[in-house]
Structure 1
Amino acid sequence: MTNPKLISSFRLSSLLRLQKDPKLALQLFQNPNPNTSQTPPVKPFRYSHLNYDLIITKLGRAKMFDEMRQILHQLKQDTRISPEEIIFCNVIGFYGRARLCEHALLVFDEMPSFRVQRTVKSFNSLLSAILKCRRFDKMREVFARMEEDGSADSCSYNILIHGCVVNGKLKEAWSVFGAMLRRGLKADEVTFGTLIYGLCLELRLKQASKLKDDMVRVYKVRPNENVYASLIKGYCDVGELSLAFRLKEEMVRNEMEVDTAVYSTFISALFKAGRKADAFGVLEEMRENGCKMNIVTYNAMINGFCNERDFEAAFKVLDEIGENGCKADVISYNVILGGLCKEGKLSEANDLLEDMPRRGCAPDVVSYRILFDGLCDGMQFKAAASILDEMIFKGHVPRTASVHKFINGLCQVGDMECLWTVLSTLTRGNVIDYETWRMIVSTVCKENELSNASELNKILIIP
């Protein structure tokens, strides 16, 4: 009987690419030739660099970090292989997306033990990972190491500038920008786009517009779509729609693509300004230019109709989303829930919350909080108690201020039966605080109701 042909490392790479299930891919990697029984025994499988790269990537994307670390340990022991830096850049990136900053730092520090020379690529991967983890103190520390050995490049500075902007430290971002120029590094559209985005966040629109002009005049860098999108959103946020439209026209003249996000910004701003007809005009222009509506556009329209109290139109848009091959998200429903509660249409809001799972969208903590607050504001305490019970059962936590308002309302109307039910629910969910206890005890003592004190004592000793 002839032995089956052994799988080569080249063939293993092809099989790993085809295997979608990371667990099965791992089994294949660990035992590529399971059905061989040769005498003398088959030599250990000789993995290639590509084999390791493929399996590490699959495990990292699947967040199977324990298994990924095992493969990395095997790679370290496999002295025939000289790993490429890109493998570790990817691993650091996986840890960054999973908010595992310390793991990313550890991999970076261990790279020399894998016979890998660290360059600015792995430094930048680490900076990006730390940024995703929002560890700005560590980011500065790592960047300082790069500056000391002179390895920081334009990308490094861009990442640090982004970190400063995200952290709300725009002044520090400008300082980093100045240091970048002093180093003789060239600022690009990413650099300016990030700084302009930061200025627009703080509504410093004159400075943002000036920087856009300086990009071309002083730095010879052409503004890209992101620069225009930030400025347009900024002007829309402050109601300067004429300036925002002027920027859109400039984009068209410069043969730039006006994308769905920009159109959605205009639609939202026009509804907010009470210019519904103009919003529909923008929507028509969007369709004529072949720009497909996405969920952001639909949600902007839903929000606009809800602000106008036109819930029939809002529900019509909600139905159209599915018909046009898109899918409503929880934000779509929460916007309508908020609008209905604001108008006191609590029964309709409750019906919508119950209908969400049937429509293929499970309510989230925001959904429950919106309805709970609305019912409390409408003095519908029994219905609010029911929603509170369902919310806590599903692992969601109400806002502390909302609970205090609810308890205070129950105490004022003297609905002790509902109060005990709510107190039991809060205790069961372990979401009761000192202030809530104080309010209840104060009410019990004020009323001097011994039976109520007895009920309170029972709840207090619940294990």
Structure 2
Amino acid sequence: MSSTNINRLRSLFSRIPSPTSFGHKLTTPRTPTNTKLTPKAETPVPISSQDKKINSLVNKFKKSTDNPIFRRYHHEHYEATVRRLADGRHFSAIKDILEHQKKYPDIRDEMFAVRLISLYGRAKMLDEAQKLFDEMPSLNCERTLRSFNALLEACVHSKNFDKVRELFKELPEKLPLKPDVVSYNIVVRALCHMGSPDSAVALMDEMERNHVKPNAVTFNTLLDAFNKMNRVEEAERLWGLMEKKNVTPNAGSYNSRLHGLVVDGRILDAVLLIEEMSKKGVKMNIFCYNAVMKGFVDAGNVNEAKVWYKKMAANEHRLRPNWATYGMLIPFACDKDDFDYAFELCADAIRKKRTVDIFVVQRVIDGLVARSKNDEAEILMEIANFKQSLVY
């Protein structure tokens, strides 16, 4: 394939931001040309265009929050603004807009305070989240399990997992509060993130002593942890314990078990599990289908992978392949020298605006050209060119 076509393809499928897109320009003061020793006033450093944009964003947002309707109903704007600032590491700006919210009467509503704690957590500003939690009584805002759980969740988002255990042990006695299943589930998740699922399993005994019943979320978190560590036997024992405690598995539970069976090379057992799901009326999601297809991909069985792809497309819930589906099947079709199928999948992914790695697309086009399928290669290029105006 010519270098011109490759460059054209690269421009269509990749948009690499400038390294300075989210940063500040560094300015170096010029060295004075004169040699006089008379002290001169320092020249103020000009505000960068990036700083001006951030200041404008902060001021506009604070002005919008003067409207009580905005504060009450536009949660997504709070989340989008904090996410944007956090991505650019503008933490002082985040603190500015969230501290500003304390001037409104809404701060006396615990749910409003919980939202602010959660936003600090998502920005990985745990110290500010805990500071707000500690200030709630002075702001005439009651602290209940809702704000306690929000603080624990903020620890997880900040990846400060040890802090979860510390707060879980200390705060309930001080406030006092009685942790509920949500509280315990956050601690279970933190322990699993720390690579200690066995400690999380032991925590279930404490839950029961405190008359808190584990639920599907508890077991799903544990199942995911053990399966990701390839400890399939422990995961299977948990599945049995789940049934013993009359906890009904949901799609997430089955997806986790499917993943474990596939990793263990037990693809036929995975298929039987899907049949069980169908009988019990559990809805298959995209992750379940991807897990089964991965099993057949790992086994090198392209025909069965195609069968399950068709089943997913024909599913009554109209499931659509995601980036992981295409990222798995397209290279597999190329490995199996099935470039017609690779072309079909690649074209479908582009039409549906799914992300496809540029090198995967290049491989498909090269394979088509090498097999004298120039028409298909050109069609793929044309589809990409057409979608470029829509996607970007």
What is the TM-score with the length of structure 2 in the denominator?
0.69
Q: Is it true that 1:128 corresponds to 2:128 in the alignment?
A: no
Q: Paired residue for 1:355, among 265, 287, 311?
A: 311
User: Following TM superposition, by how much is the alpha carbon of 1:146 offset from its aligned partner in structure 2, in angstroms?
Assistant: 4.5
Instruction: Provide the rounded CA distance (Å) in 2 between the counterparts of 1:168 and 1:331.
Output: 28
Q: Paired residue for 2:353, among 371, 375, 397?
A: 397
Q: Paired residue for 2:249, among 290, 293, 303?
A: 293
Other-structure match for 2:47: none
Unaligned ranges ≥5, structure 2: 1-59, 86-92
Instruction: Provide the rounded CA distance (Å) in 2 between the counterparts of 1:411 and 1:146.
Output: 56
Other-structure match for 2:29: none
- Spell out the pairing of 1:39-438 with structure 2 (5 A cutoff): 109=67, 125-126=72-73, 128-131=75-78, 134-136=80-82, 146-153=101-108, 154-180=110-136, 182-183=138-139, 185-360=141-316, 361-366=318-323, 367-392=325-350, 395-401=351-357, 403-408=358-363, 410-411=365-366, 415=370, 417-418=372-373, 420-430=375-385
- Spell out the pairing of 1:441-452 with structure 2 (5 A cutoff): none
User: Following TM superposition, by how much is the alpha carbon of 1:224 offset from its aligned partner in structure 2, in angstroms?
Assistant: 1.9
Instruction: Provide the rounded CA distance (Å) in 2 between the counterparts of 1:325 and 1:408.
Output: 41
Instruction: Provide the rounded CA distance (Å) in 2 between the counterparts of 1:397 and 1:230.
Output: 35
User: Following TM superposition, by how much is the alpha carbon of 1:204 offset from its aligned partner in structure 2, in angstroms?
Assistant: 2.6
SS at match of 2:333: helix
Aligned length: 315
SS at match of 1:326: coil
SS at match of 1:356: helix
Q: CA RMSD in A?
A: 3.3
Question: Would you say the 8 A contact 1:263–1:297 is kept in 2?
Answer: yes
Instruction: Provide the rounded CA distance (Å) in 1 between the counterparts of 2:204 and 2:374.
Output: 56
Give the ranges of 4+ consecutive aligned residues of structure 1 lying more than 4 Å apart after TM superposition.
Answer: 105-109, 137-146
User: Following TM superposition, by how much is the alpha carbon of 1:245 offset from its aligned partner in structure 2, in angstroms?
Assistant: 1.4
User: Following TM superposition, by how much is the alpha carbon of 1:304 offset from its aligned partner in structure 2, in angstroms?
Assistant: 0.7
Deviations 1:278-314 (A, max 9, x none): 3333222222322211111111111111111211111
> Which amino acid letter does the alignment assign opposite residue 226 of structure 2?
L
Instruction: Provide the rounded CA distance (Å) in 1 between the counterparts of 2:377 and 2:228.
Output: 39
User: Following TM superposition, by how much is the alpha carbon of 1:170 offset from its aligned partner in structure 2, in angstroms?
Assistant: 3.1
User: Following TM superposition, by how much is the alpha carbon of 1:108 offset from its aligned partner in structure 2, in angstroms?
Assistant: 8.5
Instruction: Provide the rounded CA distance (Å) in 2 between the counterparts of 1:413 and 1:155.
Output: 57
User: Following TM superposition, by how much is the alpha carbon of 1:264 offset from its aligned partner in structure 2, in angstroms?
Assistant: 1.8
> Which amino acid letter does the alignment assign opposite residue 382 of structure 1?
D
Instruction: Provide the rounded CA distance (Å) in 2 between the counterparts of 1:405 and 1:391.
Output: 12
User: Following TM superposition, by how much is the alpha carbon of 1:267 offset from its aligned partner in structure 2, in angstroms?
Assistant: 2.4
Question: Would you say the 8 A contact 2:125–2:158 is kept in 1?
Answer: no
Question: Would you say the 8 A contact 1:337–1:349 is kept in 2?
Answer: yes
Question: Would you say the 8 A contact 1:260–1:294 is kept in 2?
Answer: yes
> Which amino acid letter does the alignment assign opposite residue 309 of structure 2?
L
Instruction: Provide the rounded CA distance (Å) in 2 between the counterparts of 1:284 and 1:400.
Output: 39
SS at match of 2:80: coil
Unaligned ranges ≥5, structure 1: 1-101, 110-117, 434-463
Instruction: Provide the rounded CA distance (Å) in 2 between the counterparts of 1:409 and 1:322.
Output: 36
Deviations 1:395-427 (A, max 9, x none): 3235342x4334246548961633552232232
> Which amino acid letter does the alignment assign opposite residue 254 of structure 2?
Y
User: Following TM superposition, by how much is the alpha carbon of 1:372 offset from its aligned partner in structure 2, in angstroms?
Assistant: 1.6
Deviations 1:418-458 (A, max 9, x none): 3552232232243688xxxxxxxxxxxxxxxxxxxxxxxxx
User: Following TM superposition, by how much is the alpha carbon of 1:220 offset from its aligned partner in structure 2, in angstroms?
Assistant: 1.5
Instruction: Provide the rounded CA distance (Å) in 2 between the counterparts of 1:315 and 1:247.
Output: 33
Instruction: Provide the rounded CA distance (Å) in 2 between the counterparts of 1:298 and 1:358.
Output: 20
> Which amino acid letter does the alignment assign opposite residue 128 of structure 1?
H
Question: CA 1:149–1:198 in 2, change beyond 3 Å: closer, same or farther?
Answer: closer
Question: Would you say the 8 A contact 2:369–2:377 is kept in 1?
Answer: no
Higher relative contact order (CA 8 A, sep 6+): 2
What is the TM-score with the length of structure 1 in the denominator?
0.59
Question: Would you say the 8 A contact 2:191–2:200 is kept in 1?
Answer: yes
> Which amino acid letter does the alignment assign opposite residue 272 of structure 2?
K
